[in-house]
């Protein structure tokens, strides 16, 4: 059964790997007259406790700045194609949890994401965010290489 796509979430980490996914998500939104949420997830569960409050605040500020830059890029791409995009920077224990929970709580029809950031040895140890979202999400997921 094919569902009409009215709400699209484009998950971005600001990396070059996400650029194709952004283009694809915006194209799908335009073709379907869908609403778009550009989402950047700040992981909150992996911060070393040994960092002091000042360092934690600086790290949080830096991640929020990166998130705003990443989501504003999606807004700019959407604007150039006549698609309205709502930028959101959210916090969650992990990027996977943030993406899946946001999609469920906001009745997203389709999650669009690239093969996000991690590569090499860290990917072998931690697993791909995209692979994990595909595995655990109850929503449709489009992964764009």
Reported as a single tens digit per residue, the pLDDT across 123-133 is 443 458 999 99
Q: Mean pLDDT, the chain, as a whole number?
A: 88
Tokens of 1: 């059964």
Which residues 6+ apart lie within 8 Å of 4 measured at CB?
32, 109
Closest CA to 38 of 65, 79, 63, 70: 70
CA separation for the pair 142, 145 (Å, rounded): 10
Domains annotated for the chain, with CATH where assigned, are 7-144 (3.40.50.620)
> What pLDDT digit, counting tens, does each position of 78-98 carry?
999 999 999 999 999 999 999
Place of tokens 């698609």: 83
**Within a 10 A sphere around the Cβ of 59, how many other Cβ atoms?**
14
Radius of gyration for the chain, computed over Cα atoms and rounded to the nearest angstrom: 15
Split at pLDDT 50, 70, 90, the class of 54 is confident
């Amino acid at each position: 059964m094919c569902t009409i796509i009215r709400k699209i979430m484009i998950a971005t980490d600001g990396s070059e790997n996400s650029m194709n996914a952004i283009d694809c998500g915006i194209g799908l939104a335009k073709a379907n007259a869908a609403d778009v949420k550009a989402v950047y997830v700040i992981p909150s569960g992996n911060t070393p406790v040994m960092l002091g409050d000042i360092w934690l605040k600086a790290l949080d500020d830096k991640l929020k700045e990166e998130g705003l830059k990443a989501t504003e890029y999606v807004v700019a791409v959407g604007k150039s194609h006549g698609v309205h995009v709502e930028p959101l920077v959210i916090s969650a224990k992990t990027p996977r949890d943030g993406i899946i929970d946001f999609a469920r709580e906001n009745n997203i029809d389709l999650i669009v994401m690239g093969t996000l950031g991690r590569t090499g040895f860290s990917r072998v140890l931690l697993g791909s965010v995209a692979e994990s979202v595909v595995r655990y999400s109850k929503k449709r997921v489009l992964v764009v290489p």
